[in-house]
Amino acid sequence: MKQTHLMITLALAGLFSLAGAAFIANQKADAPTVTTTDPSLPLVTVYKSATCGCCKDWVKHMQDNGFRVEAHDVGNLLPYKEQAKLGAGMGSCHTAFVDGYAIEGHVPAWDVKRLLTEKPDISGLTVPRMPAGSPGMEVPGQPADAYQVISYKDGEETGVFSDYPAGK
Ligand SMILES: [Cu+2]
């Protein structure tokens, strides 16, 4: 019974991917990229200032990686930094929440996905400040800074979650 169900699921998945391939084949080369949200991913709620351009670029990075994002423009980010339980020197330009975790700054979407899979006992992840080359902080013609994604709990660093070397 379970196997039959699995077979049907697989057959349906196959049909959908065929349909998807046909759809992509029909698109013109200059058509805009269609981003599909992954319904299995939880909603990401972002708090940012209205004028923050790199915050918008990070929102787009998350959407491009399947996340549904609800972005709020706020005048004062401090209450959200407190809610995120960030420690001194851990802050960045925007604060997000997903599935009970805080995500501060330009954390790559794949690290957020790993966080949601591993579910460690932490407050969240942060990329302090705004390193060039992190998602949403790409600067054309400028090499990427080396940066780390830091995990923290109640204002204290708990470890390095991801380490990215400097790029070209
Ligand atoms: Cu930023």
Give the CATH number of the domain where residue 101 resides. Answer: 3.40.30
Q: Which two tokens stand for residue 48?
A: 């940012």
Residue 81 shares a structural domain with residue 16: no
Q: Within 10 Å of residue 32's Cβ, how many Cβ atoms?
A: 7
* 128 Cα: distance to centroid of ligand 1 (angstroms): 10
| Number of domains the chain contains | 2
* 135 Cα: distance to centroid of ligand 1 (angstroms): 9
Residue 19's domain comprises: 1-34
- Given this model, what pLDDT does residue 33 score? 56
Q: What angle do CA 140, 49, 69 make, to 5 degrees?
A: 80
Residue 19 shares a structural domain with residue 84: no
Residue 99, C-beta contacts closer than 8 angstroms, at least 6 positions apart: 42, 116
Residue 136 shares a structural domain with residue 61: yes
Residue 28 shares a structural domain with residue 42: no
Q: Which residue has the higher pLDDT, 7 or 83?
A: 83
Q: What is the pLDDT of residues 37-54, one digit of tens each?
A: 899 999 999 999 999 999
Residue 41 shares a structural domain with residue 11: no
Cα 21 from Cα 164, distance rounded (Å): 33
Given pLDDT bands bounded at 50, 70 and 90, which one contains residue 2?
very low
* 118 Cα: distance to centroid of ligand 1 (angstroms): 26
Residues lying with their CB under 5 A of ligand 1, a single-atom ion: 54, 93, 130
Residue 27 shares a structural domain with residue 81: no
* 104 Cα: distance to centroid of ligand 1 (angstroms): 10
Residue 21 shares a structural domain with residue 40: no
Residue 124 shares a structural domain with residue 136: yes
pTM: 0.79
* 39 Cα: distance to centroid of ligand 1 (angstroms): 26
